[in-house]
Amino acid sequence: MLAPPFPFKSGLQRFLVVSALFATAFSAQSAQSEQRLPNFVILFADDLGYGDLGCYGHPTIRTPNLDRMAAEGLRFTDFYSAASVCTPSRAALLTGRYPVRNGMCSDTRRVLFPDSAGGLPQDETTLAEALKTKGYATACIGKWHLGHLPQYLPTRNGFDYYFGLPYSNDMDRVADAKLGRSIFLDPKVEYWKVPLLQNAKMIEQPAHQPSLTRRYTAEAIKFIGQNRSKPFLLYVPYAFPHVPLFASDRFAGQSPRGLYGDVVEEMDWSAGEIMASIRKEGIAEHTLVFFSSDNGPWLLFNEQGGSAGLLREGKGSTWEGGMRVPGLAWWPGKIKAGAVSRDLACTMDIFSTCLSLAGASPPSDREIDGVDLGPVLFGKGKGRRDLFFYYRDTQLYAVRKGPFKAHFMTRAGYGDEKAETHDRPLLFHLGHDPAEKFDVAKDHPDVLADLAKEVERHRTAVVRGPLQLEERIKSN
Ligand code: MG
């Protein structure tokens, strides 16, 4: 007798086996997509204040895309940048370490300048370098400000691709441009010689600033499209709303908040376009997006500077307005829509969170200050951070533990005011008094003693790196 062409006795049996085969294939595919390493996108504003987005209460700046990101994701109320000015803040974001550890701070030159000879030390491990060990594609599209000499550029720090300004958009000012701050009231492209780089090559000088946000957006979307099928890190540090403010024709003159509002609204548009491209490529469920700012608003510039909302002071200062910034996280299907976290968190935690989710190991021979935000983001428990140290340049000015913040020193962000050392530290309860108006030190000697002990423990343990911001390029 010939064997039957199909070894099943009944149609039902055949149906069951074929279904099982499909189910196995489907679950293998799900397991594969489950195992797929997540993409990370970090959108990073420059000098955007705590109060400058609709979802943080600004009455006239319109930010529907970032508001949507908050509504679909998680909004932090107590999120900090690790420094109150650009260079140290970015060094901390990308290394997960307080700037004092890698020397990316200074009491004489607060950031890197076009004549600076230093940059992020090569022995630091950046987020991009750590993710490269897991096969990530990496791009930095925007302002770098961690060293503009060839050996310090993003392409030497783990980024496959770079497009952007090597330092701030107000640097390389031309000698005959109008003097003083009035230059910022009516800025013209030709007042600054700041270059635009692609990888290590200068492609434009001066950079055409009104089109920067639009071009960054196009570059970011192109990178996402090119890397849709593999894990990637996309870091987008915008040029604005750092002064001088430039918006493209489409946004100029549109915002009820004036020019400052125009540039923030254009950045919001950019965030919306980048999120739309993530959705369009079908990778939203594999992509964690963060949005934050490198420091608080530059109050020195009046209407050209932003707002820290109800927080005290701004950029340059260790009062809350200098370092508490907007913090949003978005990951459909993983982060609960509309979540609000009052946990203490900071930009250094982004480093540790991404490494943890990618299964990459942090360097084991040094202290990492970031903590994994996973429990907070995914609603699986309390935040792991209970302490935050506020440095101004190389000096520790303040500490926060729980709702209490003690200031050992205070100083305005900019201006002539000298630093004031407090023999009895000032103490504020940031839950009751986020504006830091009412010193409650005399009511809580035990809290003050505990915070002083935390500071002492931290101070004695910190290994300070050689300072990187002071050396200048030798002129011939
Ligand atoms: Mg900044």
* Structure confidence by residue, pLDDT tens digits, 238-297: 999 999 999 999 999 999 999 999 999 999 999 999 999 999 999 999 999 999 999 999
Count of C-beta atoms within a 10 Å radius of residue 347: 27
Q: Could you give the residue range(s) of every CATH 3.30.1120.10 domain in the chain?
A: 389-461
Cα distances from 343 to residues 196, 387, 451, in angstroms, run 38, 11, 18
- What letter does residue 442 receive in the DSSP assignment? G
pLDDT of 107-136, one tens digit each? 999 999 999 999 999 999 999 999 999 999
> What average pLDDT score do residues 176-194 get?
86
CA of 227 to the centre of ligand 1 (A): 29
Q: Could you give the residue range(s) of every CATH 3.40.720.10 domain in the chain?
A: 37-385
Those residues whose C-beta lies under 8 Å from the C-beta of residue 227, and which sit 6 or more positions away, are 39, 137
Neighbours of ion ligand 1 (CB under 5 A): 46-47, 86, 294-295
User: Is residue 174 within 8 Å of 190, Cβ to Cβ?
Assistant: yes
What pLDDT is attached to residue 437? 98
- Cα torsion angle, 413, 414, 415, 420, sign: positive
CA of 139 to the centre of ligand 1 (A): 20
Question: In residues, how long is the chain?
Answer: 476
Chain-centroid distance of CA 193 in Å reads: 26
Omega cis (within 30) before 241: yes
> What average pLDDT score do residues 320-326 get?
98
CA of 294 to the centre of ligand 1 (A): 5
- Specify whether 86 is catalytic: yes
Give the residue with greater pLDDT, 186 vs 158: 158
Mean pLDDT is lowest, of 153-157, 319-323, 413-417, for 413-417
- Cα torsion angle, 337, 341, 347, 352, sign: negative
What pLDDT is attached to residue 12? 53
Cα distances from 71 to residues 38, 39, 119, 223, 332, in angstroms, run 21, 20, 38, 26, 11
Chain-centroid distance of CA 80 in Å reads: 10
What pLDDT is attached to residue 34? 52
> What average pLDDT score do residues 394-405 get?
98
What pLDDT is attached to residue 235? 99
The stretches of 340-467 forming alpha helices (DSSP H) are 347-358, 374-377, 445-461
Cα distances from 162 to residues 83, 129, 189, 255, 348, in angstroms, run 24, 14, 22, 31, 22
Share of the chain above pLDDT 70, in %: 93
Count of C-beta atoms within a 10 Å radius of residue 205: 13
DSSP-assigned letters across all residues of 11-39: HHHHHHHHHHHHHHHHHHHHHHHHHSPPE
User: Is residue 306 within 8 Å of 325, Cβ to Cβ?
Assistant: no
pLDDT of 15-33, one tens digit each? 555 555 455 444 444 444 4
Q: Give 58's pLDDT tier (boundaries 50, 70, 90).
A: very high
Q: What is the rounded distance in angstroms from the CA atom of residue 405 to the CA atom of residue 398? A: 7
- What letter does residue 145 receive in the DSSP assignment? -
CA of 453 to the centre of ligand 1 (A): 31
Q: Give 2's pLDDT tier (boundaries 50, 70, 90).
A: very low
Q: Give 177's pLDDT tier (boundaries 50, 70, 90).
A: confident
Judged against a pLDDT cut of 80, whether residue 456 lies above it is answered with: yes
Catalytic residue from among 145, 148, 242, 286: 145
Average pLDDT, the chain: 93
User: Is residue 71 within 8 Å of 337, Cβ to Cβ?
Assistant: yes
Chain-centroid distance of CA 259 in Å reads: 23
What is the CATH number that goes with domain 37-385?
A: 3.40.720.10
Pairing of strands 137-141, 345-346: unpaired
What pLDDT is attached to residue 142? 98
What pLDDT is attached to residue 176? 76
Q: Give 183's pLDDT tier (boundaries 50, 70, 90).
A: confident
What pLDDT is attached to residue 178? 73
What pLDDT is attached to residue 26? 45
One of 3.40.710.10, 3.20.20.70, 3.30.1120.10, 3.30.43.10 is the CATH number of 389-461, namely 3.30.1120.10
Q: What is the rounded distance in angstroms from the CA atom of residue 235 to the CA atom of residue 41? A: 6
CA of 328 to the centre of ligand 1 (A): 18
> What average pLDDT score do residues 429-448 get?
98
What pLDDT is attached to residue 185? 87
Count of C-beta atoms within a 10 Å radius of residue 325: 32
CA of 242 to the centre of ligand 1 (A): 6
Catalytic residue from among 55, 58, 86, 140: 86
pTM comes to 0.93
Amino acid at 209: Q
Q: Can you tell me which residue has the tokens 């739309």? A: 276
